[in-house]
Amino acid sequence: MQFKAMVISNTEISPGYFRLRLTAPRDTAVSRPGQFLMVKVRDATDPLLRRPFGIFDMATIDSENPETGRQTCLEILYKVVGKGTRVLAALHHGDHLDILGPLGKGFDTSGRGGEKILVGGGVGLAPLYYLARRLLGNSPVRLFAGGKNREDILCITEFERLGIETYVSTDDGTLGEQGMVTAVMERYLSDNPSVETIYACGPFPMLKAVSRIAERYGIPCQVSLEAYMACGVGACLGCVIKGRNHTEEIPDYRCVCKDGPVFDSLELFWD
């Protein structure tokens, strides 16, 4: 779907991190956790390409003007890293954005009601909030959040308000336990091997470590990847990653945009 969204709010929640709330057409309510949006940050050739962002949250609220009735809203949690995100950071209430989405395959939230654990690294936390809200209905959820320092640990209170038990770790120990989020997660698994599914989003090395651990414990693991994207719909083949059986002769490339961004960790070629 392609639509014009209006900026409701755009707030800096931590140095360099913003929460952008947008109006969206009712049909976007089908968005699943893990799906993403391709955002044209402004109507110009600079920057040229759309920028991909996960869905932080989705809600249908009472809109400002009664006429239009209830309004569907999408939220993005983004980190300012370059040109496009700098343009986003300058948006005001009432500005408009051209958006494509929801795109890609989201997280598989089905299951037997067993315990689910979420692992997020830095801005990788973004898609996990909406996922947590969806999972909570029928299963207990734990969150493991990691980052370089306290500034990278986002919206923890929002997660806790959902009644989720959270384990925070930072490289410099400025918040939570000092160390790697994967270490904390593994320690937890060693005491509670009965976890049903692991959901992870963050830097590639973290996802690789998580998938290794998951494999060792025989726990199904879904990872959400990032890739540099041009089209977002499977046409440019710019965002590919290697599938488990990839060889030069029999290529097994998957599009992060179309076959993902969420993959079963066993589908992928990790080294």
φ and ψ at residue 230, rounded to 5 degrees: -110, -55
| Residue 70, burial from CB neighbour count under 10 angstroms (0-12, 13-18, 19+) | exposed
- Please check whether residue 210 is in contact with residue 221, taking contact to mean a CB–CB distance below 8 angstroms: yes
The interface region with a second copy, picked from 14-22, 40-48, 56-64, 182-190 by CB under 8 A, is 40-48
Asked if 19 contacts 11 with a C-beta cutoff of 8 angstroms, the reply is: yes
Distance CA 174, CA 260 (A): 33
Question: Is 250 a binder of a second copy (CB under 8 A)?
Answer: no
Nearest distance in Å: CB 78, ligand FAD = 4
Q: Does 228 engage in binding with ligand FAD (CB under 6 A)?
A: yes
**Binding status of residue 45 toward a second copy by CB under 8 A:** yes
Question: Which of 151, 215, 147, 149 has the alpha carbon at shortest distance from 184?
Answer: 147
Judged by CB under 8 A, the chain residues 158 through 177 that form the site for a second copy are none
Residue 39 CA to residue 187 CA, distance in Å, equals 39
CB 77 within 8 A of CB 18: yes
Rounded to an integer, what distance in angstroms lies between the CA atom of residue 100 and that of residue 42? 13
Q: Does 87 bind another protein (CB under 8 A)?
A: no
- In the shown chain, the binding pattern of residues 7 to 36 toward another protein, with x for contact by CB under 8 A and - for none, equals ------------------------------
What angle do helix axes 181-191 and 204-217 make, rounded to 10 degrees? Answer: 10
Does position 262 interact with ligand FES (CB under 6 A)? The reply is: no
Rounded to whole angstroms, the Cα distance separating 22 from 39 reads 12
Instruction: Give the tokens for residue 217.
Output: 């414990």
Residue type at 197 in one-letter notation = T
Residue 255 touching ligand FES (CB under 6 A): yes
Q: Does 248 bind another protein (CB under 8 A)?
A: yes
Helix segments in the chain, DSSP class H: 83-89, 126-136, 156-161, 181-191, 204-217
Among 32, 50, 79, 116, binds another protein (CB under 8 A): 50
What residues between 213 and 242 interact with ligand FES by CB under 6 A? 229-232, 234-239
Single residue of 46, 62, 249, 271 touching a second copy by CB under 8 A: 46
Residue closer to another protein, measured from CB, 177 or 252: 252
Residue 112 interacts with, from a second copy, ligand FAD, another protein, none (CB under 5-8 Å by kind): none
**Among 65, 66, 67, 92, contact with a second copy (rule: CB under 8 A):** 92
92, interface contact from another protein, ligand FES, a second copy, none, CB < 5-8 Å by kind? a second copy
Chain residues in the site for another protein (CB under 8 A): 1-2, 40, 45-50, 98, 100, 227-241, 246, 248, 250-251, 253, 258
The contact set with ligand FES (CB under 6 A) reads 229-232, 234-239, 255, 257
Question: Rule CB under 8 A: which residues touch a second copy?
Answer: 44-46, 92
